[in-house]
Amino acid sequence: MPRYFIEVAYKGTHYSGFQVQQNAITIQSVVEDALQIFYRQPLQLTCSSRTDAGVHALQNFYHVDTDLPLDKKVYNLNALLPNDVVIKNIAQVKDNVHARFSGEAREYKYFITQDKNPFLEETAWRYVFPLDIEILNACAAVLFEYQDFTSFSKKHTQVNNFNCDIMLSQWIYENDCLVFNVKANRFLRGMVRGLVGTMLLAGRGTISVADFRNIIEAKDCTKANFSTPAHGLFLVKVTYPDDIYTLA
């Protein structure tokens, strides 16, 4: 049975996350509803990864197995979706490619604004404390020295290990925001928000860079700061091998 990748982007403000949940409206539930209306039969999607309630994505993926010839022209499907969710592309992939397990890396950005801006109210965290970007980048550089990020995984996470290979970690300015940009082969539950919240403590002088390093080495999630709200976080890109697509 042919397998298709469905690429989506969304503003997650009004949704209970990416993956389907009982008694909740999620990105997956509205996409599946649109597909069912258009194709007149249910199609069950498999997610590339989870994003929490309120988190946004510039790129995320589902895969679906179906004998239906899915229409690559997505205009009609998008007409059935809410304005804050869009299907960007549908493409057939090789049968053994998995939206989650075939991903080689994921990239996130967390946006912070220090000024009141009504246009960023739902897509950036207003953080009014003075911040030292050099200290923030010193903390970001520390991440390359470690693989075990137990301290930045929320409790009750069912994973075999807490190891992540960090490929990119930096604080930059972008679109009038201070942005943490991070890329890794995988992320733990709550990891980006925990990293941001803890680094911000260093950036405002509450803890030192050495303290930040100690928090990583403690392998204790009670030491990190997970209070960072969801609405500043974007999944930017999911990277797959170049040869996943078929010629169909």
What DSSP line would sit under 187-213, residue for residue? --TTHHHHHHHHHHHHHTTSS-HHHHH
Average pLDDT, the chain: 94
| Residue 130: CB atoms within 10 Å | 9
61, pLDDT greater than 90: yes
Kindly indicate the confidence band of residue 248, based on its pLDDT and cuts at 50, 70 and 90. Answer: low
Residue found under tokens 């995984």: 153
Q: Does 128 score more than 60 pLDDT? A: yes
pLDDT in tens, 220-236: 999 999 999 999 999 99
110 is in an annotated binding site: no
The band of 155, judged by pLDDT with boundaries at 50, 70 and 90, is confident
Q: Which DSSP symbol is given to 106?
A: E
Position 195 scores a pLDDT of 98
**Is residue 164's pLDDT more than 80?**
yes
Q: How far apart are CA 221 and CA 153, in angstroms?
A: 6
Task: Judge whether residue 95 has pLDDT over 80.
Answer: yes
Q: Which CATH number fits domain 105-236: 3.40.50.720, 3.40.50.2300, 1.10.490.10, 3.30.70.660?
A: 3.30.70.660
Asked if the model's pLDDT at residue 247 lies above 80, the reply is: no
Tens of pLDDT, residues 136-148 = 999 999 999 999 9
Return the pLDDT at 246.
Answer: 76
CB-CB contact of 234 with 111 (8 Å): yes
Tell how strand 56-65 and strand 233-239 pair up. parallel
Confidence of residue 156 (pLDDT cuts 50, 70, 90): low
Domain with CATH 3.30.70.580 in the chain: 3-102
> pLDDT-based confidence at 49, cuts 50/70/90?
confident
What are the tens digits of pLDDT across the range 168-219? Answer: 999 999 989 999 999 999 999 999 999 999 999 999 999 999 999 999 999 9
Q: Which of 33, 52, 148, 211 is catalytic?
A: 52
pLDDT reading at 131 higher than 60: yes
Domain 3-102 has CATH 3.30.1330.10: no
52 counts as catalytic: yes
165-183 as b/e: b if 16+ CB within 10 A: ebeebebeeeeebbbbbbb
CATH 3.30.70.660 in the chain: give the residue spans.
105-236
Transcribe 224-246 into DSSP letters: S-----GGGEEEEEEE--TT-B-
